[in-house]
Amino acid sequence: MQKGRARDVIMRVIVIVTGVSLLTSMTSCALFKKKTEPNLAPFAEQTVTMAGKVNHGFAEIRSVYIRKEASQSPEVEELKGMVEDIRLFMIAIVEYSLQVVTLSQSSKTGPERAQAFADFLDELLDPVVEQKDVELHYAEGRLDEILASIRQQETLIDALRVGQPIVDEAAYVAGAFLDRFKDTQTAAAESISAAIDQEFHAVISYSNILQEQEEIVLGVHELLAQYALGDKTALDKIEYEKLLVFEGINVEGGLDVDELYKIEDRILERMDKISTLRKDMEPELEQYRVKQRELDKITREIDKSLMDTRATIFIWNKTHLKMSEGLTEPATISLFNITQQLMDTAIQEIPEIPIDLPF
């Protein structure tokens, strides 16, 4: 009787162990089916970066010395509107990104997430479709079809994949808009520079004349020194018609010592007058240089902001693509727990087996 009961218990254990083996093989595909979730970390990090930059960049660039010239430039007025458009576009991207990050962590079902995601994308599309400066790759009807397809998805990851072309289109429009901004900024810088040149035209022109005269006079002084040292051909190189220092002096037969000293005195006197005139003009010339330097500095700052904004949008687009590709994770159902429960059942049966040692 005991032997029969033991055999029954052993058979039950064998059945349980066999069941574990069969369950393992049958559920290796079902319970361990891989699960793909949005690759959120890079996108969330980039969203934080964008949120910190959205109110900086172009808005921080200020002029001091060229305000008058800038206020008279039509290109600058156009740039002001474009800066605001860029800021609003960046805000739209940040708001969309924050909504997606929040949605991925919500308790909504897959279809509910897909519906909400489509709504977010629809809002992001508003500035993309409303702008008229960049031709879109997709007709508005095709964009509506993509949104409709997103609403039919069962999971957020599938919705992200279907919606990626719209995100790509938004990034493309932003890049093209920045290109147009750069063209307008270049035209604005050229117009401001031309206005500054015009404002200081007289002083710049006279400064150039003085510089030319100074170079001529110094050149004559050098040739006279060569003549005094014995180079008789030095006088032939002088352009007398451009100089007043030789007035009343006949150089055809050469120059004696007194004539050389007289010409030298005239040269030194002329150099002194040129120096005085240049010193008197220096404040205006410095004001001209200050304005041009500020214009150059602002141009570099805008170029840097453009590059930063372009890089930010590029990275945002790529991290969104990476997020839509997803991360593959193991299933949340653990086969180990199921196996453990079955083994516990078997172990509970073993103590009931009579111990009948043969010795």
State the SS3 of 4-70: HHHHHHHHHHHHHHHHHHHHHHHHHHHCCCCEEECCHHHHHHHHHHHHHHCCCHHHHCCCCCCHHHH
Residues 168 and 223 in one domain: no
156 closest CA partner among 125, 126, 124, 120: 120
The amino acid occupying position 141 is: G
Percent share of the chain, pLDDT over 70: 77
**Is the pLDDT at 285 greater than 90, yes or no?**
yes
pLDDT at 334: 40
35-37 and 327-329 strand pairing? antiparallel
d(CA 114, CA 157): 9
186 and 113 in one domain? yes
Residue 234 and residue 297 in one domain: no
CA distance 319 to 322: 5
Please say which residue of 235, 263, 291 terminates a domain: 291
Structurally, the chain folds into a number of domains equal to: 3
Q: Shortest CA distance to 316 belongs to which of 132, 124, 122?
A: 124
169 lies in the same domain as 104? yes
Residue 150: closest CA among 103, 106, 105: 103
Judge if 161 and 298 occupy the same domain.
yes
Q: What is the pLDDT of residue 58?
A: 55
Q: Answer yes or no: are the C-beta atoms of 201 and 102 closer than 8 Å.
A: no
Rounded Cα gap, residues 316 and 312, in angstroms: 6
The residue among 43 and 340 whose pLDDT is bigger is: 43
Same domain, 186 and 101: yes
Q: Distance between CA atoms of 261 and 265, rounded to whole angstroms? A: 6
For residue 207, what pLDDT band results from cuts at 50, 70 and 90? very high
Question: pLDDT category, 242, cuts 50, 70, 90?
Answer: low
Q: Which two tokens stand for residue 287?
A: 């004001």
**What pLDDT is recorded for position 351?**
38
Mean pLDDT of the chain: 79
pTM (2 d.p.): 0.68
What is the per-residue pLDDT for 52?
64
- CB atoms near residue 24 (< 10 Å): 14
Using CA atoms in the order 152, 153, 156, 160, what is the torsion angle rounded to 10 degrees?
A: -90
pLDDT given for residue 237 in this prediction: 86
Handedness of CA 212, 241, 259, 229 (dihedral sign): positive
Shared domain for 215 and 338, answered yes or no, is no
Decide if pLDDT at 358 tops 50.
no
**Listed ranges 15-19, 53-57, 295-299; the one with the highest mean pLDDT:** 295-299
- The answer on 188 and 92 residing in a single domain is yes
Residue 183 has which token pair?
Answer: 């063209």
Looking at the structure, do residues 138 and 269 belong to the same domain, yes or no?
A: no
Summarize pLDDT for 167-201 with one digit per residue, the tens. 999 999 889 989 999 999 999 999 999 999 999 99
Tokens describing residue 54: 């959205």
Query: What's the pLDDT score for residue 244?
Result: 77
Name the band, by pLDDT with cuts 50, 70 and 90, for residue 135: confident
Write out the H or E segment, with its range, that includes residue 318: helix 257-325
Top-confidence residue, 336 or 108: 108
Look up tokens 């964009």; give the residue.
Answer: 143
Residue 11: pLDDT over 90? no
pLDDT in tens, 90-134: 888 888 888 888 888 888 999 999 999 999 999 888 888 887 778
Residue 29: band (very low, low, confident or very high) from pLDDT cuts 50, 70, 90 = very low
The alpha helices in 131-200, defined as continuous H runs, are 140-151, 156-199
Instruction: Looking at the structure, tell me whether residues 102 and 233 fall in a common domain.
Output: no
What is the residue range of 42's domain? 37-199+293-330
**What tokens appear for 257 in the block?**
């010592």
Tell me, yes or no, whether 65 and 179 share the same domain. Answer: yes
Q: Is residue 51's pLDDT more than 80?
A: no
- Claim to verify: residue 235 and residue 346 sit in the same structural domain: no
The residue to which tokens 């489509």 are assigned: 118
**Gap between the Cα atoms of 292 and 295, Å rounded:** 5
Mean pLDDT of 201-227: 91
CB 196 within 8 A of CB 288: yes
